[in-house]
Structure formats: structure tokens, C-alpha cells
């Protein structure tokens, strides 16, 4: 490399912000899905209690 420029290391804040940007929407979707998914276990209890 002919052009030797000194660059700072990536800021941990910048790295944290980048991760937050993708984690937040994913966490929102995950929360929504988990709340819906819990219904299956209610169904499981119903099935276990149901007479054969």
C-alpha cells in the first residue's frame, strides 16, 4: 500500500449500535411469535386431559 493512513479502531459504541439495529426488530418479532406459540402448550394440556 503506497498510501499509509492511520485509522482508528471501530468504536465499541458503533458496533453496539449496529447490533441493536438488527436485534431490536428481531426481538420484537420473536416476542410476538413466542406469545402466539405458547397457545400450543395450552392445547397440549387439553389433549393430555382429554379422554381417549
User: What are the φ/ψ torsions at residue 6 (nearest 5 degrees)?
Assistant: -85, 125
- Min dist CB 24 to other proteins, Å, is 10
Task: Rule CB under 8 A: say whether 9 interacts with other proteins.
Answer: yes
Torsion of CA 1, 15, 28, 45, to 10 degrees: 100
Q: Which grid cell is 31?
A: 416476542
CB closer to other proteins, 2 vs 7: 7
Q: Residue 17 and residue 10: Cα distance in Å, rounded?
A: 12
Task: Rule CB under 8 A: say whether 26 interacts with other proteins.
Answer: yes
Residues in touch with other proteins (CB under 8 A): 5-10, 14-15, 18-19, 21-22, 25-26, 28-30, 32-34, 36-44, 46-48, 50, 52
Amino acid at each position: 500500500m503506497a498510501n499509509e493512513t492511520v485509522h482508528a479502531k471501530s468504536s465499541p459504541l458503533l458496533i453496539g449500535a449496529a447490533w441493536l439495529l438488527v436485534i431490536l426488530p428481531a426481538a420484537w418479532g420473536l416476542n410476538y411469535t413466542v406469545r402466539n406459540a405458547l397457545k400450543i402448550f395450552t392445547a397440549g394440556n387439553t389433549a393430555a386431559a382429554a379422554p381417549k
